[in-house]
Amino acid sequence: MSYEGKMARNSLRKAIAYSTELLSMISATDELEPWIQAKINDMDHYIEAVYGYYKFGEDMDEPVESIKEYENQTYADSDGQITVGDYKTKHFDICPSAQKLYSTIKDKTVMIHLIVETMMLQDLLFRLEKQAIAQGSIDEDDLEKAEEFAELIMNNAEQMNLLEEHSYIEDVHLAKFKELAGVSNSEENEELEDEMSEDYMEMAQNSLFVTIKHEVN
């Protein structure tokens, strides 16, 4: 006797219970951590695929057409914000390049879950940038956080084959963070040279050890 169906139903009941409770915990204006957004987006994608299989009798690499049509609805508002599906950006007004790209993003990729996740990550990056500009400076912790957001955004962009289109993240926004942090190109080059020097010394030591060992033997 197979128990897979029973286990699946129990898992679905648990998902419903957790989702219902989370709906009361997360408000529409909450700024979520990137890993939370990623997990929720993954859950949405997996549930959608299973639903499509049972509803239409086929394995779905793409969303159900009716859902896909809804999620692909994209709106560019007069305040500089972009809406895809039921997600509306909050801080895209600071970046004309992001507005231009995401107003037609549905024509460039069908990876809706990555589109929304990347929009959320950019919202977090742009909010941090607004705060830094208002303060006129940024500390090392916030600079590291900005670099982490930028890396996640570019990773998603690579998966969507839109790396070049997202070049503004590093060329404009990370550059602004580094300017506010007082990080110059010369300092970055010095850090890189130090890292390369350390790597070189380690390689030289390893090479010397191998040579000595060979001569001893």
Distance CA 178, CA 210 (A): 42
**Side chain identity at residue 14, one-letter code:** K
Q: Which of 176, 168, 167 has its CA nearest to residue 142?
A: 176
Distance CA 94, CA 81 (A): 10
> Do 82 and 119 contact (CB within 8 A), yes or no?
yes
Per residue in 51-102, pLDDT tens? 777 776 655 555 545 445 545 566 677 789 998 877 889 999 999 999 999 9
Q: In which band, very low, low, confident or very high, does the pLDDT at 147 lie, cut at 50, 70 and 90?
A: very high
Most confident of 37-51, 160-174, 190-204: 160-174
pLDDT of residue 73: 65
Alpha carbon of 71 to those of 42, 68, 213: distances in Å? 15, 5, 64
Q: Which of 147, 41, 138 has its CA nearest to residue 86?
A: 41
